[in-house]
Structure 1
Amino acid sequence: MSILTQDELATGTYLGRVWCPDANGPAVVTLRDDEVIDITCKTAPTVRDICEMDDPAGYVAQAEGHAIAPLETVAEACVGDPSLVHFLAPCDLQAIKACGVTFANSMVERVIEELAAGDAQKADTIRQRVSAVIGDSLRNIRAGSPEAAQVKQTLIDADVWSPYLEVGIGPDAEIFSKAQVLSSVGPGAEVGLHPISTWNNPEPEVVLAVSSNGRIVGAALGNDVNLRDIEGRSALLLSKAKDNNGSCAIGPMIRLFDDGYALDDVRKAELALTVEGPDGFILEGRSSMREISRDPEDLVSQAIGRHHQYPDGLMLFLGTLFAPTMDRDVAGQGFTHKIGDVVTIAAPGLGSLCNTVNLSTDCPEWTFGISHLMRNLAQRGML
């Protein structure tokens, strides 16, 4: 499994984590000459500590360390096997937050989910009705603008207004807690679907690494696994739909911002999605950050500031343009996952994040929490 191209390796500064059998815990790593380099030390025992530095990329580029194994070996290792070095999610102590409904297409699909009450069989009919009213009216609207307010009134008059459109084009973004600290999975891991869900899909997104003072220090890829039927029944079921065992994947590593890659590159990022099913089904999609309705800096400022502090920083999912409507089995019922689907999210500069779909009840349990990390680091003399 190739997680980064040779060009990405040659030009980028990467920060991540692996499971280290010798330490019986995680190691902070970077990449040099196709080798995974352990840079864990007392100065920076966590990824969080590096993201808090004045120049994270400069520190990582010069940090002393030792080679653990070739990148290819680590990338292909069985995730979850404690006897093997394998990749983990690249963040550790950061809060995991996510923005919803930040693209026009996803706004429309969220409205459809709500009007269908989570019933995939009703979605296609409702999609035609909603599209006839909305058309392309949302595509070039700046969220919170006077033009957006006019569109809002038009939609209310047409009886298709929704809380999803409020956060999509109104002044306030939807920002929610996606996963618990240390619960995210990394490349090669299984991603989980709650077993009660029958209508769901992947969500390819850029994930920003943000320090405690609100500074954006890098970016990674993410899969904000989406349960369309659960959230569609009620927006109040968002936590049940979003925060489950294995439901948040981030990786393959954080690309730290430096002279070769910065926030403007994120603003131009083109994400490609491929789903390869055990039934031979193939779904391809895309998410273009050029079409986002809120700038990443605006989303960060709405998540962190005087109104809300994150002493250990945060990882912020930016939302997705992708909303699958292609039928998989039954005409008019659209796409939903099957167990065993292989989901690959890729973007130039950020690499490739590949995960296999399972039920959250069958994914490996999350057992390594903050207390375990602190005890492990203390035993290793890192604290």
Structure 2
Amino acid sequence: MTLTNPDPKGTFLARVLRPGMGPCIARLDGDTLVDITSKTAPTMRDLLELDDPLAHVRAADGERFATLADLGPDGPALLAPCDLQVVKASGVTFAQSMVERVIEEQAAGDPDRAEAIRTRVGRIIGDSLAGLVPGSEKAAEVKKVLQAEGLWSQYLEVGIGPDAEVFTKCPTLAAVGHGADVGLHPMSRWNNPEPEVVLAVTSKGDIVGATLGNDVNLRDVEGRSALLLGKAKDNNASASVGPFLRLFDETYGMADVESAELTLTVKGEDGYTLNGRSSMSKISRPPASIVGQTIGGHHQYPDGFFLYLGTLFAPTEDRDTQGQGFTHKVGDVVTIAEPKLGALTNTVRLSTDCPPWTFGVAALMRNLAQRGLL
């Protein structure tokens, strides 16, 4: 699970748990981690809210305390790169995964019914959603056709309608990082990983960087009712972000985000392997427009936010039983990778078996105060 620097010319930040000390902000110099935590920027939130975070990171002196090879259970460990930011997520942003959400809803969360419904929905919808601009006149025409077929869905409303689906994925400081366990609620028997690009956004709405995320998803729970979205999405260790935050600079920007090609690998203890992809070039809404629907006069985020952008990936390959598609098993190792952002790896457990979340905002503030950083 040893990491490497995706691009030595890029500007990468990490949050690292240093044994006996606490969370620190680290710059990645080659394969070396440099602790640049300071009174000026004791948290990732404070660093990103600076007038020029890029200049601060490049000029900061710090302690070279570890290499990437030193990371692990007996040494420093990567945390999610977000700290005081709210973790938001946008859903149903790709046509292919949009259709799978309709299938979940039609199947009422029952994987046994999914294959027959998938065949019917595919026969009626086909490729009609590909390239459709949400909120356009053409999208309104498609809506009328689907309503006439009895297939209109709340997922299609947010997928091709004018308003994006944006929800809170997890509480502040609840996301886990590279190498950690990710959690499934024990009630779920139909679930999957969701490989996504995650944007770092300031309180002013400026997009300043990107990372990777696994928006762990319980298909059966959400399929029973969209009102169960909180139970389907927000459980102990159900949000993974990392491994690093890549700041926007002369080597990396929004064009790279919009052309990102994510790969997903799931390796089970039973010898099973799943390979998947998610191409950001096929997203239905421009990422900046999703950010614009999240923050503005209608909603402020004084500490900024990290935003999952959704995924093209929707696993339909059968794992065990024919017609039931894919679902996780405890012990699955999930790796989400993108050449310019690195690789995020986590092991699947039940949320009740993952380490409980105990280090919240109060604990962080006390820790920073004890270290003389506040």
Distance in 2 between residues matched to 1:284 and 1:58, nearest whole Å: 39
Q: Which residue number in structure 2 is paired with residue 103 of structure 1?
A: 94
Q: What's the CA shift for 1:127?
A: 0.2
Q: What's the CA shift for 1:58?
A: 2.2
The answer as to 2:10 corresponding to 1:4 is no
Residues 25-44 of structure 1 aligned to structure 2 (within 5 Å): 25-44=22-41
Q: Which residue number in structure 2 is paired with residue 216 of structure 1?
A: 207
The answer as to 2:21 corresponding to 1:19 is no
Confirm or deny: 8 A CA contact 1:4 1:350 kept in the other structure. no
Which residue identity lines up with residue 185 of structure 1 in the other structure? V
Which residue identity lines up with residue 25 of structure 2 in the other structure? V
User: For residues 269-292 of structure 1, what are the alpha-carbon distances to aligned partners after superposition, in whole Å with 9 as ceiling and x for unaligned?
Assistant: 000000000000000000000000
Confirm or deny: 8 A CA contact 1:2 1:352 kept in the other structure. no
Q: Does the residue aligned with 1:138 lie in a helix, a strand or coil?
A: coil
Which residue identity lines up with residue 247 of structure 1 in the other structure? S
Q: Does the residue aligned with 2:8 lie in a helix, a strand or coil?
A: helix
Q: Which residue number in structure 2 is paired with residue 323 of structure 1?
A: 314
Residues 249-288 of structure 1 aligned to structure 2 (within 5 Å): 249-288=240-279
TM value normalised by structure 1: 0.97
**5+ unaligned residues in a row in structure 1: which ranges?**
none
**5+ unaligned residues in a row in structure 2: which ranges?**
none
Q: What's the CA shift for 1:57?
A: 2.1
Distance in 2 between residues matched to 1:290 and 1:375, nearest whole Å: 43
Q: What's the CA shift for 1:36?
A: 0.8
Q: Which residue number in structure 2 is paired with residue 122 of structure 1?
A: 113
Q: Does the residue aligned with 1:206 lie in a helix, a strand or coil?
A: strand
The answer as to 2:55 corresponding to 1:58 is yes
Match of 1:69 among 35, 51, 66: 66
Distance in 2 between residues matched to 1:174 and 1:4, nearest whole Å: 34
Q: What's the CA shift for 1:71?
A: 1.3
Q: What's the CA shift for 1:70?
A: 1.1
Distance in 2 between residues matched to 1:222 and 1:293, nearest whole Å: 19
User: For residues 217-243 of structure 1, what are the alpha-carbon distances to aligned partners after superposition, in whole Å with 9 as ceiling and x for unaligned?
Assistant: 000000000000000000000000000
Distance in 2 between residues matched to 1:182 and 1:58, nearest whole Å: 26
Residues 200-215 of structure 1 aligned to structure 2 (within 5 Å): 200-215=191-206
Distance in 2 between residues matched to 1:227 and 1:94, nearest whole Å: 24
Confirm or deny: 8 A CA contact 2:215 2:239 kept in the other structure. yes
Aligned length: 374
Confirm or deny: 8 A CA contact 2:193 2:217 kept in the other structure. yes
Which residue identity lines up with residue 54 of structure 2 in the other structure? A
Q: What's the CA shift for 1:4?
A: 3.2
Distance in 2 between residues matched to 1:219 and 1:146, nearest whole Å: 32
Match of 1:304 among 295, 316, 337: 295
Q: What's the CA shift for 1:9?
A: 3.8
Distance in 2 between residues matched to 1:348 and 1:62, nearest whole Å: 26
Confirm or deny: 8 A CA contact 2:4 2:68 kept in the other structure. no
Confirm or deny: 8 A CA contact 2:4 2:31 kept in the other structure. no
The answer as to 2:252 corresponding to 1:241 is no
Distance in 2 between residues matched to 1:130 and 1:2, nearest whole Å: 43
Residues 111-260 of structure 1 aligned to structure 2 (within 5 Å): 111-260=102-251
User: For residues 90-127 of structure 1, what are the alpha-carbon distances to aligned partners after superposition, in whole Å with 9 as ceiling and x for unaligned?
Assistant: 11000000000000011000000000000001000000
Which residue identity lines up with residue 37 of structure 2 in the other structure? T
Which residue identity lines up with residue 168 of structure 1 in the other structure? G
Q: Does the residue aligned with 1:150 lie in a helix, a strand or coil?
A: helix
Distance in 2 between residues matched to 1:115 and 1:234, nearest whole Å: 10
Q: Does the residue aligned with 1:237 lie in a helix, a strand or coil?
A: helix
Q: Which residue number in structure 2 is paired with residue 359 of structure 1?
A: 350
Q: Does the residue aligned with 1:11 lie in a helix, a strand or coil?
A: coil
Which residue identity lines up with residue 16 of structure 1 in the other structure? A
User: For residues 293-323 of structure 1, what are the alpha-carbon distances to aligned partners after superposition, in whole Å with 9 as ceiling and x for unaligned?
Assistant: 0000000000011100000000000000000
Distance in 1 between residues matched to 2:7 and 2:19, nearest whole Å: 25
Which residue identity lines up with residue 52 of structure 2 in the other structure? D
Q: Which stretch has the larger CA shift, 111-120 or 13-22?
A: 13-22
- RMSD of aligned C-alpha atoms? 0.8
Distance in 2 between residues matched to 1:363 and 1:229, nearest whole Å: 21
Distance in 1 between residues matched to 2:160 and 2:2, nearest whole Å: 38
User: For the structure 1 residues 84 and 3, does the alpha-carbon distance in structure 2 shift closer, same or farther, using more than 3 Å as the test?
Assistant: closer
Confirm or deny: 8 A CA contact 2:14 2:27 kept in the other structure. yes
Q: What's the CA shift for 1:150?
A: 0.5
